[in-house]
Structure 1
Amino acid sequence: MIRSRLMAVQQTRSHGFRPRGREVSRLEGLSDAVFGFAITLLVVSLEVPRTATQLFEVMRGFGSFAACFALLFLVWWNQYRFFRRYGLNDGVTMVLNAALLFVIVFFVYPLKFVFTIVLGMFTGSAPWQAVSAGGDPVLTHDQWPMLMVVFSGGYVAVFLIFALLHLHAYRMRESLELDPLEQFDTLTTVRESMVNVGIGVFSILLAVFGGGMGPFLGGIVYWLVGPAMWLNGTLAGRARKRLQASLAGG
């Protein structure tokens, strides 16, 4: 019985899920506008360069813009997938989505600033030695820990909101008619989001309590994201296959 039902819905699945949000809601339309505005804020200058010097100055920020754009696109994709999978537009979803959009807009400039500093470090100049056009240091040793706290705070907030969104969807699993595999995938996404939250919190702790090398180590921590996602995905994939086999055998 269960096997026949699984086979019946498999044709309507998208990446293991039956899409429940087929139409773009007003909530998603607002979200897309906010993401577009956030990307606009990343642009170094809204005016077309008039000289080669201005053009080269704009191109100097290409690396940080590309990194920030990739992260914003990743956040947008996760939000898009959530609405396609669950199609929720209730009050809790609207509040959490509004919080996500607030975080995105508020942390655009800190995000770009951090990536500008990081890419500047790879060019061989320490960020606290750089001087802005106004003569002030771009970043001092005393400001570095707080910069990492701000950056990691935004990182934690984004993934915590995604975890809460998917927990909300899981809580509504009966009304959404989530099958066992969809429930498993929902909880897997919650766990993945919480792993990212843990990495961000670890970065904050290192930046605040790690001494002179704390902010640097707080940045290095983010290299754990790749291995952590791979390990989580591998373990979840194996568990999902066992669940799928169990359901098919039933």
Structure 2
Amino acid sequence: MTNKPTSSPDAAALAGRAKAAPTLRRPRDAATLVIVDRTSPTPRVLMGRRRPEQVFLPNTFVFPGGRVEPADRAAARRHALSAADLEALKVEMRGRRSDTRAAALALAAVRETYEETGIIVGAAHATAPPPLASAWDAFHAEGYQPCLDKLTFFARAITPPGRPRRYDTRFFIVDADEVCHRVERTDGELLDIDWYPLDRARALKLPSITRLVIEDVAQFIDRQGDNEGPCDVPFYYHRHGRQERAVLRR
């Protein structure tokens, strides 16, 4: 009689853990733009609700933003950030660090804001660049070009492992005075787009990272009121299953 081979308990446990282990995805470069309106007694921020059928963070309120596209990297050679923000963005930058990659992050924030909300942060141009079949064509067709000099890099967060999408997101902030135009057409990714006072924003259904960044926004606004200079950048990430908060020194 031949004994049939059986799996040992240790082997079965290892197989179970391997099956349950999350797929490790490399975070993709992404950017978000927080626009602050100070015309009312309480500062307001532009937010929208992600559609309920979306895979990543469905039915939650977020700031406009998205991943960096090749068109952003191509355009980055023609648009400059402030020297301080350029250097801050390259601190702890994964992969190859470059000025072009840093500027592409800011451009992605401006472009995604236009696509998702119809809001343009930029300046009018005399002659529109020729169409290049790129993600920037619609923006340029409105008669504007992006301006990055008023944007400030103020936070960074990496999506935890195991999520259906992972992003290494840089958060930029700009005053609503820099909004030069708004169109009604959007890509439909965000619903309920509106200006929300910070206290009301805190009460919305928010991803955990957005809730943290709202507090960073409040602190940023307070520092500006006190005329403080550029500050260090909070950096949120996960290690050993726990959320960590580091500080990127300027």
- TM-score (ref. length: structure 1): 0.28
Greater strand proportion: 2
Higher relative contact order (CA 8 A, sep 6+): 2
Greater helix proportion: 1
- TM-score (ref. length: structure 2): 0.28
